[in-house]
Amino acid sequence: MLLRNINILLFVFISSFCFGQDSVPYSKEYEFKEGIFLSLEHFKNNDPITKKMIVSGIPKAQTDFFTELIEQKTIVFKDSAGAEKTIQTASIWGYCQNRSIYLNFNKEFTRLNVIGNLCHFTSMVTVQGSYRDPMDYNYGINNTYQELRQFVYDTKNNKVLDFNSKNMELLLTDDEVLHKEFMVLKKKQKADSIFIYLRKYNEKHPLYLSKN
């Protein structure tokens, strides 16, 4: 048992040392570069397509430059060799503007409220009505409405999940201590504690990003 614990501590130390060479844990002081992130890896490496690389008629002095840019179907930019390239806006991971990160989700770009290995955001989704009154004049017409919902973005697996207690159980499985704590809670306690455990998880398992 002693040898096993020593090996675990040694592994943690080595991992931390390796991360420390070219990466830092995310904090609110971290300076993201403004620009378009093509993928999750570009985000983690803080390596966006910056304003000076983008070819556009939109004035680059505008504070909402990227908000307007992503309204276009395609984005044109110059690579390191000066050659122009065109990408589909719908294919990009997200962008950074005014120190905020916006994730491409459900054909929209939505701001990440919490950044970490587990990110949190809200987004409007289209919901099919569960009840349709046959006496209603509009019966037979597509009964849908918009609803604001909470989501969690798992950066380890590059997946978006509904932010609820069931998915939090799943996300905590790689931390035995936190998972055990969460599982002994009652159903309502779990629902009320998902933000707490999101924070606990991110504190124990910080998101490492490229040094600036």
Q: How confident is the model over 75-96, as pLDDT tens digits?
A: 999 998 899 999 999 999 999 9
Residue type, 66: F
CB-based contact 11:176 (threshold 8 Å): no
Q: Among the listed ranges 139-143, 151-155, 189-193, which one has the minimum average pLDDT value? A: 139-143
Q: What is the pLDDT of residue 137?
A: 57
How far apart are the C-alpha atoms of 193 and 111, rounded to whole Å?
Answer: 22
pTM value? 0.83
Average pLDDT over residues 109-117: 98
pLDDT of residue 80: 87
Residues 177, 179, 185, 188: what is their CA dihedral angle, to the nearest 10 degrees?
Answer: 140
Looking at every residue in the chain, the average pLDDT score rounds to 88
In percent, how much of the chain has pLDDT > 90?
75
- What average pLDDT score do residues 151-164 get? 97
CA distance 84 to 67: 21
According to the model, what pLDDT value does residue 62 have? 92
Per-residue pLDDT band at 132 (split at 50, 70, 90): low
pLDDT > 80? residue 167 = yes
